[in-house]
């Protein structure tokens, strides 16, 4: 199956340069709807869903291919090849920051810039590295997700969004979590939260923007600063925003900083 069908790719907008937006765990391409209108007059926009998310072809799930984040990165490169695109501006939220980085390592010719929103190269604390979670915390989180997907979604959505339960933003994220197939949600969560891509950061030589929220329970300030310090060609910006999903809760902040970055 072609990647364009497998990943439910949508292309719109106009312009000689291309912006590719990649969603985070438990989300889909609709999460970018508050950001893309600001760019579609000057850029071609590419949106897609990872296999298992949104309206992707779930039948295309391959446990071996998607056993690491590199499999998802391979999907990105296949999408760009099928669209005959190079030198794109890639914008990745959360886990897509590392997926985009891995895609760049495989095919640097496809990328002109990368923007990482709330990135983490490793969620688990080890020695003098602070990832934000102990190994037991992550294992407990994954066990809860596996045993009760609905309850996990209701509990974690407010934590991730940084907004109270039953708020507009928390409800949207909870609904997005619940739309995922429980098995695929659990699989993607394991790959996401157990990955360690710290050693890959030094190879990300492309111009990169790291966008960090002030209060992020998933990827805190120290995590974003670590990613920035390890990337040889990066800029670090702290948004006036709370939570892990500023493109949903504070899209104007994301738009402003992304526009400034792209115009440099």
Q: Which of 244, 247, 249, 250 is catalytic?
A: 244
3-state SS assignment for residue 208 = strand
The CA distances from residue 254 to 92, 131, 211, in Å, are: 12, 23, 8
Q: Which of 94, 97, 120, 234 is catalytic?
A: 94
Our CA angle for 239, 242, 244, nearest 5°, is: 95
Q: Which of 216, 228, 234, 247 is catalytic?
A: 216
In 3D, which of 158, 194, 152 has the Cα closest to residue 173? 158
87: left (phi over 0), alpha (psi -120 to 50) or beta: left
Is there a catalytic annotation at residue 216? yes
Phi, psi of 116 (to 5 degrees): -110, 120
3-state SS assignment for residue 171 = helix
| Alpha helix stretches (DSSP H) within the chain | 3-6, 69-82, 95-106, 135-147, 149-161, 168-179, 182-194, 221-230, 246-249, 251-262
Catalytic residues: 94, 216, 244
């Amino acid at each position: 199956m072609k990647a364009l069908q497998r990943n439910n790719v949508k292309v719109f907008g106009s312009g000689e340069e291309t912006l590719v937006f990649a969603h985070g765990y438990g989300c889909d391409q609709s999460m970018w709807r508050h950001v893309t209108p600001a760019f579609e007059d000057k850029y071609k926009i590419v949106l897609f869903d990872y296999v298992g998310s949104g309206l992707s072809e779930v039948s295309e799930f391959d446990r071996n291919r998607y056993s690491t984040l590199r499999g998802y990165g391979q999907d990105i490169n296949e999408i760009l090849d099928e669209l005959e695109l190079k030198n794109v501006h890639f914008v990745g939220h959360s886990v897509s920051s590392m997926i985009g980085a891995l895609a760049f390592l495989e095919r640097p010719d496809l990328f002109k810039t990368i923007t990482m929103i709330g990135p983490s190269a490793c969620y688990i604390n080890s020695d003098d590295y602070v990832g934000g979670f102990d190994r037991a915390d992550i294992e407990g989180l994954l066990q809860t997700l596996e045993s009760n997907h609905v309850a996990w979604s209701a509990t974690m959505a407010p934590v991730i969004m940084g907004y109270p339960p039953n708020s507009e933003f928390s409800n949207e994220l909870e609904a997005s979590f619940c739309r995922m197939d429980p098995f695929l949600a659990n699989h993607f969560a394991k790959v996401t939260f157990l990955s360690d891509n710290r050693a890959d950061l030094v190879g990300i030589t492309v111009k990169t923007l790291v966008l960090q929220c002030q209060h992020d329970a998933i990827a805190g300030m120290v995590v974003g600063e670590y990613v920035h310090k390890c990337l040889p060609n990066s800029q670090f910006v702290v948004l006036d925003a709370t939570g892990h999903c500023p493109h949903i809760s504070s899209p104007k902040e994301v738009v402003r900083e992304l526009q400034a970055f792209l115009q440099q």
